[in-house]
Amino acid sequence: MAVPKRKTSPSKRGMRRSADALKSPTYVEDKDSGELRRPHHLDLKTGMYRGRQILSPKTEA
């Protein structure tokens, strides 16, 4: 069974656990529609990504 040779200091333990904290997702304002969207994601309502039409626009049902 693997056993640590040295005790992990509180500083090292805290550095390891710093990634465990939940961060709120980032949103940016779309230049064309003005709505919030995730960065590097296409807008599902308009189908645009970086100024190009990728998908056909989503129609309201």
Cα–Cα distance measured from residue 24 to residue 47, given in angstroms and rounded to the nearest whole number? 25
Per-residue pLDDT, 14: 95
The answer, yes or no, to whether residue 61 has pLDDT greater than 60, is: no
Q: What is the pLDDT of residues 3-59, one digit of tens each?
A: 999 999 999 999 999 988 888 899 999 887 788 989 999 888 888 888 889 888 767
Q: Look up the pTM and report it.
A: 0.53
DSSP H or E stretch at residue 11? helix 10-17
Q: What does the buried/exposed string (b/e) look like for 31-52 if buried means 16 or more CB atoms within 10 Å of the residue's CB?
A: eeeeeebeeeebbeebebeeee
Q: What's the pLDDT score for residue 60?
A: 64
Q: Which of 24, 26, 30, 25 is nearest to 42 (CA)?
A: 30
Report the distance separating Cα 32 and Cα 11, nearest Å. Answer: 46
**pLDDT number for residue 15:** 94
Instruction: Break the chain into its structural domains and give their ranges.
Output: 25-61
